[in-house]
Amino acid sequence: MGRRAFIGLVVGGTAGTLLTPIPWKLTDDASIWSQNWPWIPRVPNGDFELKPSLSKLDNSGVGVNVVTVKGRPCAVYGNPEHPLSRGGISSLAVNEAELLYSPSRVQSPLKREGDSLIPISWDDAKALLAEKLKAAGSDVACVSGDDTGSGTDVFSAFVAAAGSKLCFYMPAEQVDAGRAWQRLGGQGMVGYDIENADMVLAIGADIFESWGTHVRNAQAFNKANPMGGEQAMRVVYASPIKNRGAAVADAWVPVLPGSEAALALGIAYHLIQGGATSGGPGFEAFRSAVRSGYSPEKVQQATGLTPEQVADLAKRLASAKRPLVIAGSSFGQGGGQNAVAAGLALNLLLGRLNKAGGIYALPEAPAVVQGSMPRRQILANDFVDYMLKVGAEQTKAPAVLLAYEANPAYALPQTELMAQALDKVGFLVSFSSFMDETAAMADLVLPTPLVMERTEDMYTPYGSGWVNYTVATPVIAPVFDAVPAADVLLQVASGLGHNLGFESFEDVVKAKAEALNAMGGFAAGAKAEPWKVRVGGGAPSSSGVSDAVQAGKAWVSMATVNASGLSLAKAAAGQAAAPAGGEFPLVLAPLFELNVGSSKVAIPPHNVSTIRDTEAANGHFFVRMNSATASKYGTGQGKQVTIASKTGSIKARVSIDEGVMDGVVAAPLGFGHTAWDKFAQNKGDNVSKVLTVASEPGVAAPFWAGSMVKIA
């Protein structure tokens, strides 16, 4: 072939190819390929359905609608028909579907062997559990992170059947509140009718983020503050840091953590001076205790607020038509009983008992599981106190500890000491959906399905102004080899010869629904709103609990219990006192922000991007203090510090935040996870380590709000 022929071939070939569809097809295909690479997952086709469920990742108790496509959950929305959601949802609960496939999920039962956990079958797991429980006899304890579900009833009944009284709740706001309510002589549980209040004074309690039914609280605020419309509710936040709730409140009152009771009783002082009385038992004792222990001067020392500021709060309350005081810990735990009791006392002084926009005494859930411990009995046990004694070897560690939806190895104060105490437990069993810190150190890990994968119920979460009951039925079969904890326990119980009266948890829930019928109530919805019914508006016809909850609705009852036993006699314990300085001069204000998880759930994958780089970055997290405090202690923006208390220390960097009170270090909880997954790990330190347990004045129960620290 000659050169000409060759050139002709090449040129002709090129021209010829260009005339065929080949290059154009390839070019066109390139755009399709570049959109559809096989390693990028496709989204499902098909119509979606909404199935009602429930989120228990936080305390809000929101009913949710699960978006499913071909039966597969892919998102959750707040259920607009559910009175605790009204369509709203927390930054944690909104992850519920994605968490089904969290990298942290426990995928099968695991047994400890040396330093590692190895997968075993459910049969072997149950046999091992039965064997250990049998050997332990009555030397068994349980701790539950859930106080609204019947699952805890099964656990308490089991422990009781074994002959033990050691059933505990994990420390939480509602635990302290329940005890405070009892201390004042209250029956049942206290409810707050936030929707009907025209002024809410939140003392400590972070009502839009962590306290009680926070989504519902936020919705109440939302509806009473329509954009551009008439304001029907004012909110005043008293907290050590201008936190998220304080950012939208009508006023913010800085108050030291741990001095919430002093502020409430300081307000009570002014109200009493103005002639307020509860008209009920114990008032005289209360008045003299307030006058002697909570004079404006003492309150100023304890809270840092001037008498005028406190008097102004009293005036605002007195001049409101339907004021409501909500007191609690600013980080949802460890605040003790005094703050809640003092807040309740204010409501009584303001005449807010059983009044629209006030507080109500709500009945407890009926007991259905044979031998289950009533709530008040569990409240009488204190897990922190117990573990401290175990740690100090004043009490023998239990042979078996059952941890149900609880992560004590991470979430208890003085975490490191508590972990050592947990280590002393003979056989630690973790019933958990996730490989959390407790599961990681357990001897047996039994995976529980997420709420979306099981039957679960919820009775009147703390804060709700009315009785409510919601049942979730499985939206999807467990995606991993998980079995509901209560079912496991019921089976093991019958093997051990304990009769708890039920074969399955589903039957427990059915029985509970039946038992609740006696209270009389209705299925809540957009046209049957409990807060409207509370003030006499359009009472819907009553309906059976089963029908309501089967339809995925919240069943609501206006039932109350007798509150005549309430007395103010014990509402003002102790004396207002300034924080003890000395070696640890700074007050620690932990922050509970739900986007970084709760005591049960670590930072979910999709929440990582909600963390600002001024909150956590490059492995470390930030504690916040104002510039005056920072310069006083020789630190500043971005500087590395060690925050130390009597019981531990954490490493952090400093972020200057002028919304923090003088002499206070604010530090977010939820960081410093050592178990879980790459989304939760390598982010800062666990503030619980430096929380220091003290004895609450006048109560002598564990108390760790107002922990004192230093910058080391």
Partner 1 sequence: MAKAIDQALWPEGVERCSLTKFLLWLVVPALLMLWGLVAAGVVFWYGLGMTGLNNYFAFGLYITFDLAVIALGAGAFFTGLLRYILKIEALVPIVNLTVIVGFFCYSGAMLILTMELGQPLRSWFGFWHPNVHSMLTEVIFCISVYLSVLIIEYIPLVFEQKQLNKVPFLHHLAHNMHVVMPLFAGIGAFLSTFHQGSLGGMYGVMFARPFAYREGFFIWPWTFFLFVLSAVASGPCFTVLICTAIEKISGKRMVEYRVKSLMGKIAGTMLCIYLFFKFLDTWAWIDSILPAAGNSFDQMFNGLVYGKWLMFTELIVCGVIPAIMLVIPSVRKRESMLIIASLLNCVGVSLNRYIITVQALAVPVMPFDSWQVYVPAWTEWAPSFMVLAYGVIVISLSYRYLPVFPQERKLNYK
Partner 2 sequence: MSVQREFHTKWGMVIDLDKCTGCGACMVACQVENNIAPTPDASDMTRVLTWMLVYKLENKQKFPNYDVAYLPRPCMQCENPSCVPVCPVVATTKDEEGGIVSQIYPRCIGCRYCMAACPYHVRYFNWFDPQWPAGMEKTLTPFSSTRPRGVVEKCHFCHHRFMAAKEKARATGGEPMKLAEDAYIPACVEACPTGALIFGNLKDPTHQVAKLSHSKNAKRLLERLGGKPQVYYMSKRQWVLDMLDNDLGDGSHGGVTGGGNHG
Contacts of 539 (CB under 8 A, 6+ apart): 522, 533
Q: Going by DSSP bridges, is the β-strand pair 251-254/234-239 parallel, antiparallel, or unpaired?
A: parallel
The entry of partner 1, partner 2, none near residue 344 (CB within 5 to 8 angstroms by kind) is: none
701, two tokens: 């129960």
Q: What distance in Å separates the CA atoms of residue 26 and residue 21, rounded to the nearest whole number? A: 8
The entry of partner 2, partner 1, none near residue 127 (CB within 5 to 8 angstroms by kind) is: none
Q: What distance in Å separates the CA atoms of residue 219 and residue 233, rounded to the nearest whole number? A: 12
CB of 106 to partner 2, least distance (A): 14
**Closest CB to partner 1 among 454 and 624?**
624
Residue 96, classed as helix, strand or coil, is coil
**Closest CB to partner 1 among 34 and 319?**
34
**Closest CB to partner 1 among 29 and 113?**
29
The entry of partner 1, partner 2, none near residue 30 (CB within 5 to 8 angstroms by kind) is: partner 1
**Closest CB to partner 1 among 18 and 392?**
18
User: Restricting to residues 22-81, which ones interact with partner 1 according to CB under 8 A?
Assistant: 27, 30-31, 33-34
- Contact (CB, 8 A) for 679 and 604: yes
Q: Go through the chain and tell me how many residues it has.
A: 712
In 3D space, the residue among 300, 186, 173 whose CA is nearest the CA of residue 569 turns out to be 186
In 3D space, the residue among 669, 658, 653 whose CA is nearest the CA of residue 711 turns out to be 653
Q: Going by DSSP bridges, is the β-strand pair 555-557/467-472 parallel, antiparallel, or unpaired?
A: antiparallel
The entry of partner 2, partner 1, none near residue 27 (CB within 5 to 8 angstroms by kind) is: partner 1
CB atoms within 10 A of CB 622: 25
- Contact (CB, 8 A) for 196 and 352: no
The entry of partner 2, partner 1, none near residue 37 (CB within 5 to 8 angstroms by kind) is: partner 2
**Closest CB to partner 1 among 31 and 116?**
31
CB of 214 to partner 2, least distance (A): 7
**Closest CB to partner 1 among 30 and 135?**
30
# residues near partner 1 by CB under 8 A:
5
CB of 349 to partner 1, least distance (A): 43
**Closest CB to partner 2 among 31 and 319?**
31
Q: What distance in Å separates the CA atoms of residue 649 and residue 688, rounded to the nearest whole number? A: 10
CB of 33 to partner 1, least distance (A): 7
Residue in this structure with the two tokens 């009852």, named with its chain if needed? 557
CB of 667 to partner 2, least distance (A): 17
The entry of partner 1, partner 2, none near residue 568 (CB within 5 to 8 angstroms by kind) is: none
Q: What distance in Å separates the CA atoms of residue 419 and residue 278, rounded to the nearest whole number? A: 45
The entry of partner 2, partner 1, none near residue 244 (CB within 5 to 8 angstroms by kind) is: partner 2
Residue in this structure with the two tokens 């979606």, named with its chain if needed? 48
Binding string to partner 1 for residues 245 to 284, with x set by CB under 8 A, is what?
A: ----------------------------------------
CB of 4 to partner 2, least distance (A): 41
The entry of partner 2, partner 1, none near residue 112 (CB within 5 to 8 angstroms by kind) is: none
In 3D space, the residue among 607, 701, 566 whose CA is nearest the CA of residue 183 turns out to be 566
Q: Would you give the DSSP letter of residue 404?
A: E
Q: What distance in Å separates the CA atoms of residue 684 and residue 2, rounded to the nearest whole number? A: 75
CA 238 to chain centroid: 20
CB of 659 to partner 1, least distance (A): 16
Binding site for partner 1 (CB under 8 A): 27, 30-31, 33-34
